[in-house]
């Protein structure tokens, strides 16, 4: 070869690794797939993608393209980067080991109902900007506002669940019981 010497010593430009698609024999070209898991139907056709960061499910049909996945990836990485800048809190597992504390909206809503019941606060206490500012700045930047209507439904559900738990605990040994409440 024109005095190039040993051809095996020629340096080729590095080619980024391309992962094989499980749904079809073609290669995936978009790097967005590094951050998503495929969901296949019974015919091994890709129908959805699940974000590896937030577990959000998005459409992933081949005709839809990957633009929406890329937009979600950028938004989700921003959340992950923001979370890295915040000091984490540790929570203890039942076995004594530690894990990172995570904000869970359903737990926050139940605890809000318990706080309202204990302190006899109005249902709209958490449905204003002042409450949001206080919680987000002092306790948790991921706080999500809960309307008074949602709080009302949550209170009713918490009350019914508490009554049912109490019935299962007390009724096996008692013939009758009277429960009263003041809400």
In DSSP notation, 117-165 reads: HHHT--GGGGSSHHHHHHHHHHT-TT-----HHHHHHHHHHHHHHHHHH
Structure tokens at 138: 């002092």
Contact (Cβ atoms closer than 8 angstroms) between residue 107 and residue 115: no
What's the average model confidence in pLDDT over 82-95?
72
Structure tokens at 93: 């597992």
What's the average model confidence in pLDDT over 81-104?
75
Q: How far is CA 40 from CA 22, 48, 61, 64, 158, in A?
A: 9, 7, 10, 15, 38
Whole-number mean pLDDT of the chain?
78
> CB 93: neighbour CB atoms within 10 A?
8
Residue 97: pLDDT band (50, 70, 90) is confident
28-47 tens-digit pLDDT? 678 888 888 888 887 777 78
Contact (Cβ atoms closer than 8 angstroms) between residue 74 and residue 92: no
Q: How far is CA 117 from CA 29, 137, 156, in A?
A: 55, 24, 11
Residue 37, helix vs strand vs coil: strand
DSSP 36: E
126-180 tens-digit pLDDT? 999 999 999 988 888 888 899 999 999 999 999 999 989 988 888 777 777 777 7
Whole-prediction pTM: 0.48
What's the average model confidence in pLDDT over 77-87?
63
């Amino acid at each position: 070869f024109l005095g190039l010497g040993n051809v095996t010593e020629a340096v080729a430009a590095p080619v980024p690794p391309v992962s094989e698609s499980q749904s079809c024999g073609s290669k995936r070209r978009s790097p967005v797939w590094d951050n998503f898991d495929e969901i296949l139907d019974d015919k091994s056709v890709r129908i959805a993608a699940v974000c590896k960061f937030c577990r959000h499910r998005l459409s992933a049909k081949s005709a839809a393209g990957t633009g929406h996945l890329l937009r979600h990836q950028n938004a989700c990485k921003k959340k992950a980067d923001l979370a890295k800048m915040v000091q984490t809190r540790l929570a203890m597992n039942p076995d004594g080991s530690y894990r990172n504390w995570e904000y869970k909206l359903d737990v926050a809503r139940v605890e809000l109902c318990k706080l309202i019941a204990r302190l006899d606060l109005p249902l709209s206490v958490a449905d204003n900007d002042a409450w949001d500012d206080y919680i987000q700045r002092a306790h948790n930047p991921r706080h999500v506002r809960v309307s008074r209507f949602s709080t009302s439904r949550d209170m009713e559900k918490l009350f019914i669940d508490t009554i049912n738990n109490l019935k299962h605990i007390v009724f096996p040994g008692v013939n009758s019981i009277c429960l009263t409440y003041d809400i």
